[in-house]
Structure 1
Amino acid sequence: MLQLNLVQEIAAWALPVLFAITVHEVSHGWVARRLGDPTAEMMGRLTLNPLKHIDPIGTVLVPLIFVLLPGNFIFGWAKPVPVTWQNLRNPKRDMALVALAGPSSNLLMAIGWGVVAKLGYLLADQVPFLGLPMIYMGSAGILINIILMVLNLLPLPPLDGGRVLAGLLPGPLAYKYSRIEPYGIVILLVLLFTGLLGGLLWPVVQGVMQLLYSVLAL
């Protein structure tokens, strides 16, 4: 397969990254709306228009830097979708479901991009100008979505996994655990820049990718 130049690599990653982060956030708001909280809808955030969700640093600059750096780790974020937990019918349980919606959407998108890559392989010989971009973009979509899914399932507030765990813990213990949240991003960044985060997550990411590639016969 041909090696991509820098511009082609950025182009192949741009759409999957935007969709991965945008749909992740919309999923939170959509599930919250289904469970009784219309906050995201009222603020115009239940839309796939990426301009409504883009954080200039977290959605554009940081992922771009990681694409240009050696290695396969991608990190980024969008503007969080607002959720008013008091509006939820069962706040403790429903906040966990709202949190779980994001990683679940990334899993579904990884499968969808896998189908795109599979179709690209089928078209590559006859229609290379269409098949090859589909392979590259599909492969990027698989990687970014699995990374985001695994990363967000870490049981560290304010990541989704932390909110899911808080919803499963008994009330007093959940409250004490949630007090970690102000320090969660600092802990995450320390893990990231020391290399511990990649060492922890990458085996899981590879395992999920291998399973998906096997299922789709890629």
Structure 2
Amino acid sequence: MDFLQSIIRIPLQQLPFFLITIVIAFTVHEFSHAYFANKFGDPTARMLGRMTLNPAVHFDLFGIILLLIAGFGWARPVPVNRDNFSRPRLMGVIVSAAGPISNLLLGILGSFIYAILLGTGIIDSITNEQLLRAVVWFFGIFIQFNFFLFLFNLIPLPPLDGYRIVEDVAPRTIRGSLQQYEQWLSFVFLLVIFIPGLRNYTITPMNNWSIQIGNDFLKLFLKLFGM
């Protein structure tokens, strides 16, 4: 157990809740891409069996392992053929944005449910210490991770959704330049992710923002409910 803890970033006691969160967050994210692509006329993902909430279809084992070890990972990207869209640029933006927005909505939903549990006293009524800790850990991880995925995927660097959005809204001349230097932009992305000095100015603030957003929504819902 000590060896396992030495190679992963997540405390072992919280690992089950983190894995459950990953299953939900990644699955809904990829399903959202596939759903809107199919809705706008591109059946590619649906024909490949990707328009589903079955987690096994979307998961990349290496991506998940790397997420636990290095703090960065991925699910299997949903294939999208923009040529099938009647309005490729507009619909492309919506399809790309659908993934991050789904995580935003999951974070808000998690905050909403947690606020109800807190405001109605259900949390306080839990006398089993282990169960109480499990509930608090799960909602804390679920809310923060989904808000983090929302922010992280909007970074305008390949292969993230934010880059695809910029690519679709940019003028044709700029879009051509982006495609020309895409491999170098991907290299910049890897530097941002894996170099500690750069992470302190990118990933760390984003992680702090996700915590703050979760706390703000929680306070908002508690206030709205008069709790």
Contact 1:13–1:141 (8 Å) recurs in 2:
yes
Shift of 1:7: 3.8
d(CA) in 1 for partners of 2:16, 2:26: 16
Give the equivalent residue in structure 2 for 1:70: none
Determine which of 91, 94, 116 is the counterpart of 2:91: 94
The change in CA–CA distance for 1:25 and 1:147 in structure 2 (over 3 A counts) is same
Give the equivalent residue in structure 2 for 1:57: 62
**Aligned AA for 1:203?**
P
Shift of 1:161: 0.8
Shift of 1:102: 0.8
Shift of 1:127: 2.5
For the pair shown, the structure with the greater C-alpha radius of gyration is 2
Shift of 1:199: 2.0
Shift of 1:132: 3.8
Secondary structure of the 1:125 match is helix
Give the equivalent residue in structure 2 for 1:69: none
**Aligned AA for 1:151?**
F
1:128-159 alpha-carbon deviations (Å, 9 max, x no partner): 44554232111101111111111110111221
Q: How does 1:1-218 map to 2 (within 5 A)?
A: 6-58=11-63, 60-66=64-70, 74-121=71-118, 122-129=121-128, 130-195=131-196, 196-205=198-207, 206=209, 207-217=212-222
Where structure 2 has 5 or more consecutive residues not aligned to the other structure, the ranges are 1-9
Contact 2:72–2:193 (8 Å) recurs in 1:
no
Contact 1:118–1:135 (8 Å) recurs in 2:
no
Contact 1:152–1:160 (8 Å) recurs in 2:
yes
Percent sequence identity is: 32
d(CA) in 1 for partners of 2:137, 2:162: 30
Contact 1:35–1:94 (8 Å) recurs in 2:
yes
Give the equivalent residue in structure 2 for 1:71: none
Where structure 1 has 5 or more consecutive residues not aligned to the other structure, the ranges are 67-73
d(CA) in 1 for partners of 2:11, 2:195: 27
Contact 1:30–1:46 (8 Å) recurs in 2:
yes
- RMSD between aligned residues: 2.2
Shift of 1:52: 0.3
The TM-score, its normalising length taken from structure 2, stands at: 0.81
d(CA) in 1 for partners of 2:90, 2:116: 39
The TM-score, its normalising length taken from structure 1, stands at: 0.84
Shift of 1:186: 2.5
**Aligned AA for 1:116?**
I
Give the equivalent residue in structure 1 for 2:3: none
d(CA) in 1 for partners of 2:195, 2:177: 27
Contact 2:101–2:150 (8 Å) recurs in 1:
yes
Shift of 1:44: 0.7
**Aligned AA for 2:182?**
E
d(CA) in 2 for partners of 1:215, 1:103: 22
Shift of 1:126: 1.5
Contact 1:118–1:216 (8 Å) recurs in 2:
yes
The change in CA–CA distance for 1:128 and 1:57 in structure 2 (over 3 A counts) is farther
The change in CA–CA distance for 1:128 and 1:163 in structure 2 (over 3 A counts) is farther
Contact 1:103–1:149 (8 Å) recurs in 2:
yes
